[in-house]
């Protein structure tokens, strides 16, 4: 056997060994998330981002005044309380409904897990814009403070049920 033949054969042996080592030694990562919640569970895939979300709506006599996230309602209350003051009593018929939770953006599907709810009704209690703002801020703070704990208890991780060869190869080099 001459030198060029030996070089080709030894290169083939080294390449084959490395390639088979990558595919047989590297075990797939357990990064495919499933969310467990009151209604059951849902596979959401590989999580790209996790954040706290809020939804809120302020109604007067059944008609929506403002809706969106909690920050939008807070800004509305601050802006529209000028001249009245944030400690002025709000008339009857005002209802605030709000919720907050964790939103996961993932490879299979995005998922919102609602963790906290808030209902304030001016027919049952005296409300001021400051009381509403304070309640919304507490809702947000509570969800943020418990986000990591809630996420840890709601998510389980397993192997991707349909891995492609590129992600398998990429995970071997991590």
Which pTM does this prediction carry?
0.72
20 and 72 in a single domain? The answer is no
pLDDT over 60 at 120, yes or no: yes
Give the tens place of pLDDT for each residue, 84-98: 666 677 778 889 999
Average pLDDT over residues 27-40: 83
Residue 32, number of CB atoms within 10 A of its CB: 22
Do 96 and 164 have their domain in common? no
Q: What is the pLDDT of residue 167?
A: 53
Range of the domain at 164: 3-29+159-172
Q: Looking at the structure, tell me whether residues 25 and 79 fall in a common domain.
A: no
How many domains does the chain contain in total?
Answer: 2
Residues 121 and 39 in one domain: yes
Assigned token pair, 36: 């467990």
51 shares its domain with 23: no
Q: Which of 80, 82, 53, 54 is nearest to 67 (CA)?
A: 54
Confidence of residue 73 (pLDDT cuts 50, 70, 90): very high
Q: Are residues 131 and 165 in the same domain?
A: no
């Amino acid at each position: 056997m001459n030198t060029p033949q030996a070089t080709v054969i030894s290169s083939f042996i080294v390449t084959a060994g490395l390639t088979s080592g990558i595919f047989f030694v590297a075990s797939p990562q357990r990064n495919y998330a499933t969310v467990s919640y009151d209604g059951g569970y849902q596979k959401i895939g590989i999580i790209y981002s996790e954040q706290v979300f809020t939804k809120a709506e302020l109604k007067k006599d059944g008609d929506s005044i403002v809706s969106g996230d909690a920050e939008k309602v807070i800004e509305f209350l601050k802006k529209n309380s000028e001249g009245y003051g944030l400690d002025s009593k709000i008339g009857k018929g005002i209802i605030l409904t709000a919720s907050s939770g964790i939103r996961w953006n993932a490879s299979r599907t995005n998922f919102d897990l609602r963790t906290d709810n808030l209902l304030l009704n001016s027919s049952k209690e005296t409300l001021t814009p400051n009381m509403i703002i304070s309640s919304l801020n507490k809702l947000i703070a509570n969800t943020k403070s418990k986000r990591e704990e809630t996420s840890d208890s709601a998510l389980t991780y397993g192997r991707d049920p349909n891995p492609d060869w590129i992600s398998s190869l990429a995970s071997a080099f991590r």
